[in-house]
């Protein structure tokens, strides 16, 4: 009985954004392998794109229709995450493995990807229903964009830069905070 939700949820989930994000990472990994150079500076943006694509997969097309059933939106979101997250993590690990062939400087920044994904899910959970997917997907992109933007965040006060880039400096703290925020918003 516990797996009765698996097939209907897999069919109802939005897979296209995640597949597009994984495809973009595969293309970037292929380009890195072909040129022998890995774009280390884009690792945060790549993690954010994959996190945003995963959050975009949380779109609940039948949310209004299913509002009357006993399964809450939070449970449906958790089930979608249970299906989407392993695919996103596998795509991220595959990207890191291929990128590691051309450059060892990248390392294995898995915690940063998880922090961005958890942040997007928390923003999705707390946003108004009509904006939830857009806000949740935008959160990791904007946050990682601070690192990639030519603003020179690192040139600011070091303590301010550490806060603005907390997903890099303290990814497990960000993840824990986002998970707590998500779990306290169970009604939607």
Q: What span, in angstroms and rounded, lies between the C-alpha atoms of 163 and 87?
A: 29
pLDDT of residue 180: 93
pLDDT of residue 1: 46
- For residue 79, name the pLDDT band (cuts at 50, 70, 90): confident
DSSP code per residue over 1-19: -TTTTHHHHHHHS--HHHH
pLDDT of residue 95: 86
- For residue 101, name the pLDDT band (cuts at 50, 70, 90): low
CB distance 124 to 77 below 8 Å = yes
- For residue 108, name the pLDDT band (cuts at 50, 70, 90): confident
Among 58-62, 117-121, 150-154, 164-168, the minimum mean pLDDT is found in 150-154
Question: Which of the two residues, 169 and 23, has the higher pLDDT score?
Answer: 23
Extract the tokens encoding 74.
């939070």
pLDDT of residue 67: 62
Question: Which of the two residues, 63 and 87, has the higher pLDDT score?
Answer: 87
Is residue 151 scored above 90 in pLDDT?
A: no
Give percent of the chain with pLDDT exceeding 90. 28
Is residue 96 scored above 70 in pLDDT?
A: yes
Domain positions in the chain are: 6-183
Is residue 68 scored above 60 in pLDDT?
A: no
Place of tokens 């597009």: 20
């Amino acid at each position: 009985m516990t797996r009765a939700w698996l097939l209907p949820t897999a069919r109802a989930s939005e897979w296209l954004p995640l597949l597009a994000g994984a495809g973009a990472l595969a293309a970037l990994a292929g380009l890195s392998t072909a040129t022998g150079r890995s774009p280390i500076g884009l690792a945060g943006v790549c993690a954010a794109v994959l996190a945003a694509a995963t959050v975009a997969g949380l779109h609940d097309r039948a949310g209004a229709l299913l509002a009357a059933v006993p399964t809450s939106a939070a449970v449906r979101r958790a089930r979608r995450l249970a299906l989407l997250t392993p695919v996103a993590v596998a795509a991220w690990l595959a990207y890191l493995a291929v990128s590691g062939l051309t450059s060892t400087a990248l390392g294995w920044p898995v915690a940063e990807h998880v922090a961005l994904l958890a942040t997007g899910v928390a923003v999705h959970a707390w946003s108004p229903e009509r904006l939830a997917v857009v806000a949740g997907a935008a959160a990791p992109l904007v946050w990682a964009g601070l690192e990639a933007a030519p603003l020179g965040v690192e040139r600011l006060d070091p303590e301010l830069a550490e806060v603005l880039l907390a997903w890099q400096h303290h990814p497990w703290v960000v993840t824990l905070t986002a998970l707590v925020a998500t779990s306290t918003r169970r009604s939607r």
